[in-house]
Amino acid sequence: MINRELIDPQSIVVVGGSNNVHKPGGFLVRNLLDGKYKGDLLVVNPRETNVQGVKSYTHVRDIPEVELAIIAVPAAICPEVVDILAKEKGVKAFIIISAGFGEETKEGAVLEEQILKSINDAGASLIGPNCIGVMNMNYQGVFTRPIPEFSSEGVDFISSSGATALYIIESALTKGLKFSSVWSVGNSKQNGVEDVLEYMDRNFDPATDSKYKMLYIESVRDPDKLLLHASSLIRKGCRIAAIKAGSSDSGKRAASSHTGAIASSDSAVEALFRKAGIVRCFSREELTTVACIFTMKEVKGRNCAIVTHAGGPAVMLADALSKGRLNVPNLEGPIAAELKTKLLPGAAVGNPIDIIGTGTPEHLATAIDYCENRFDEVDMIIVIFGSTGLMKLYDAYEVLHKKMEEGKKPIFPILPSIVTAGPEVKNFIKKGHVNFSDEVTLGVGLSLVINTPKPANADFQLFGVNVAEVRRIVDNLPSGGYLNPVDVRKLLKAANIPLVEEFVSADKEELLAFAKEIGFPVVAKVVGPVHKSDVGGVSLNINTEEHLLFEIERMMSLPEVTGVLVQPMLKGQELFLGAKYEERFGHVVLCGLGGIFVEVLKDVSYGLSPLSYDETYSMIRSLRGYPIIKGTRGQKGIDEQKYADIIVRLSILLRFATEIKEMDINPVLATEKGLYAVDARIRIEK
């Protein structure tokens, strides 16, 4: 639980406070004093009567009642200290920065449990142990530096790691990003990242609370809670960016299917973030860049105008934007020609708009005005302006400041000369702006923000899935393993997923009769082995009865084969669908193009079941191979609506059949007549 005493304490005791500011307890007191904490501040130190001008008590039993205790003493004595404070001194909030608990030893874990029991029995709040503390506009209860500038318009930052939090703050400070609060949750014995986010959601006041959140997460302990409160905050007008550390475990897994080889616990995180509307970042610079973008005017489209006096950075920026599926449209025609007459000879206006190195602040203002008022196709403006030694940068940055304040379109400043023009950049930031010193990092950050979908609708419909039939089939299945083709077809039919005609038998005469009925050419596949192609168990384009009989006899002689499956030979674009169950998260659904795209390029998109149509379209359109789905170079595209139908119905099937642990539908074939599931594998565990 999070309470008022933790956020806005009227009194604080630092247990282990010291005159030595090189020790955690000493630095804690120093930060509280430097931060002008307005409440009553006490210290407990058996060897001091006065700590940095603050009265010090010999023992916790000697202090008056107090609201918040920040504890910086050895782990072994923490349980006794906490118990006394909770039972006798009315303490309702604890921050334990001490280490040596469950993160180190089993004995430490026992101490942690004792502390938690005392705090829970008292109905109190706990942050830590093993953290750097908490700081906000009311107090700076940390033993570290730097201390950022705090503002209600700053960002709330919640971190699993104290040291990483400091590095992220350092990155933010160089950009001019302000903070509203910083939470280092450490071992998260009572309150983790999800719990702090829950408090922010349940108590959100749009008039006073920050609308920007940064998260650094080392373990998603409660995916449902994270999804619920992150998506709720975003719907209330907040924006959230997050790093989830530890995303490289997929390569360690042996798998018996394409889905198993591609999907991992990190896929579940990716799907969860997409469903919640969280912008996922992978580095400190990305995280703080995205947070800075949050604090600016919201981008309404994908078209960027680049105004610069240096060609190279503009080209690198354009490349980064293009990779992120943003546009740098060519600016041409009478308006562009008119702009060119107002700039110096040699200037370019096609986009990037290069006012060249001798361009003045007036030329900068003119270029921005044209992007703001004359070029309707421009949604945002990115200005690259550093030091050339030919003008007063104060004047150029004053122009930029005014245009950012007055304009309706967002203007993103890239002021790269943070060494040679340090004072000018600092002056610009002091006026309430942020600065992106690197153009590629900004381009990546903008792409992340714009390409992140809105939170998914929590409501979902069945869309033709016969849930009762799904449960009847699953309840009558064997205890585990891969299902036979007959049961696979039953499940997919219950989900209203279109299937290609097929017949399974070990009798060659029955198989031949089916082939004659549907007409040649046909496909023959073995039934039994998981990887059919590895054992020579797939034969395509069978055009004659003799060829089919030969393949049936050959396949029935292969190891572990129990029968042969015959289907019509269809032609079309191969698509891929898969699903994997991840503990605590549920089913991760994968979609993409089939064939080499999934086998080699791993071009797939992830979603968390159940999926809405908005989520599904976002997944499909985020694929690198999406132009093929849409239709490119004269080739007809596929029916995107029908592909989305299949994905949505599959996700609903999975929602009501958690026994399914792994699934491939590969391929789903997009033909002129429609989309059909051609080959599917389903592994269950009961």
User: On the CB side of 120, how many CA atoms lie within 13 Å of its CA?
Assistant: 9
Could you report the per-residue pLDDT of 78-88, keeping only the tens digit for each? Answer: 999 999 999 99
Rounded CA-CA distance 314/382 in Å is 9
Phi/psi at 578 (nearest 5 deg)?
-155, 170
Rounded CA-CA distance 136/37 in Å is 11
Indicate if the pLDDT at residue 654 is higher than 80: yes
Rounded CA-CA distance 243/575 in Å is 31
The full 3-state SS of 620-643, as one line of letters, equals HHCCCCHHHHHCCCCCCCCCHHHH
Mean pLDDT, to the nearest integer, of 432-444? 96
Q: In this structure, are 248 and 268 located in the same domain?
A: yes
Confidence of residue 339 (pLDDT cuts 50, 70, 90): very high
The pLDDT of residue 461 is: 86
Q: Residue 454 gets which letter from DSSP?
A: P
| Average pLDDT in the chain | 93
Count of Cβ atoms closer than 10 Å to residue 300 Cβ: 12
Dihedral over Cα of 96, 98, 100, 103: its sign: positive
446 is written with which tokens?
Answer: 């903008």
Number of domains in the chain: 5
The pLDDT of residue 460 is: 77
Indicate if the pLDDT at residue 638 is higher than 80: yes
Q: In this structure, are 272 and 151 located in the same domain?
A: yes
Q: In this structure, are 161 and 275 located in the same domain?
A: yes
Domain-embedded: residue 439: no
Domain-embedded: residue 34: yes
Q: In this structure, are 156 and 275 located in the same domain?
A: yes
Domain-embedded: residue 462: no
Domain end position, chosen among 294, 318, 351: 294
Select from 202, 215, 225 the least CA-distant residue to 159: 215
Q: In this structure, are 149 and 283 located in the same domain?
A: yes
Check residues 2 and 256 and name the one with the higher pLDDT.
Answer: 2
Q: In this structure, are 86 and 155 located in the same domain?
A: no
Indicate if the pLDDT at residue 611 is higher than 70: yes
How far CA 104 is from CA of 100, 130, 148, 379, 627, in Å, comes to: 6, 10, 30, 52, 51
Q: Cβ(675)–Cβ(643) under 8 Å?
A: yes
Provide DSSP, 333-367.
SHHHHHHHHTS-TT-B-SSSEE--TT--HHHHHHH
Q: In this structure, are 287 and 179 located in the same domain?
A: yes
Mean pLDDT, to the nearest integer, of 492-509? 93
Q: Cβ(686)–Cβ(666) under 8 Å?
A: no
Q: In this structure, are 578 and 640 located in the same domain?
A: yes
Domain-embedded: residue 482: no
Q: In this structure, are 249 and 157 located in the same domain?
A: yes
Q: Residue 478 gets which letter from DSSP?
A: -
Confidence of residue 358 (pLDDT cuts 50, 70, 90): very high
Confidence of residue 262 (pLDDT cuts 50, 70, 90): low
Rounded CA-CA distance 401/431 in Å is 8
Mean pLDDT, to the nearest integer, of 213-238? 96
Check residues 234 and 679 and name the one with the higher pLDDT.
Answer: 234
Q: What is the CATH number of the domain that holds 543?
A: 3.30.1490.20
Give the strand pairing for 150-159 and 212-217.
parallel
Could you report the per-residue pLDDT of 135-160, keeping only the tens digit for each? Answer: 999 999 999 999 999 999 999 999 99
The pLDDT of residue 259 is: 63
Rounded CA-CA distance 199/193 in Å is 10
Distance between start and end Cα atoms, the chain: 36
Q: In this structure, are 323 and 262 located in the same domain?
A: no
Mean pLDDT, to the nearest integer, of 553-579? 92
Domain-embedded: residue 520: yes
The pLDDT of residue 413 is: 97
Mean pLDDT, to the nearest integer, of 172-177? 96
The pLDDT of residue 308 is: 96
Q: What is the CATH number of the domain that holds 25?
A: 3.40.50.720
Select from 681, 264, 217 the least CA-distant residue to 492: 681
Provide DSSP, 266-317.
HHHHHHHHHHHTPEEESSHHHHHHHHHHHTSPPP-SSBEEEEES-HHHHHHH
Count of Cβ atoms closer than 10 Å to residue 176 Cβ: 21
Domain-embedded: residue 490: no
Domain end position, chosen among 538, 568, 598: 568
Cis peptide before 498 (omega within 30 of 0): no
In b/e form, how buried is each residue of 370-406, taking b as 16+ CB within 10 angstroms? bbbeebeebbbbbbbbbbbeebebeebbbbbbebbee
Task: Give the residue numbers spanning the domain of 648.
Answer: 573-685
Domain-embedded: residue 455: no
The pLDDT of residue 250 is: 42
Q: What is the CATH number of the domain that holds 216?
A: 3.40.50.261
The pLDDT of residue 369 is: 97
Q: Cβ(413)–Cβ(380) under 8 Å?
A: no
Rounded CA-CA distance 585/661 in Å is 12
Domain end position, chosen among 131, 155, 176: 131
pLDDT > 70 fraction of the chain, expressed in percent and rounded = 97
Could you report the per-residue pLDDT of 452-482, keeping only the tens digit for each? Answer: 999 998 777 889 999 999 999 999 988 889 9
Q: In this structure, are 192 and 210 located in the same domain?
A: yes
In the numeric block, the tokens 């070990």 are attached to 506
Strand partners, 266: none
Count of Cβ atoms closer than 10 Å to residue 249 Cβ: 10
Domain-embedded: residue 448: no
Q: What is the CATH number of the domain that holds 621?
A: 3.30.470.20
Q: In this structure, are 104 and 227 located in the same domain?
A: no
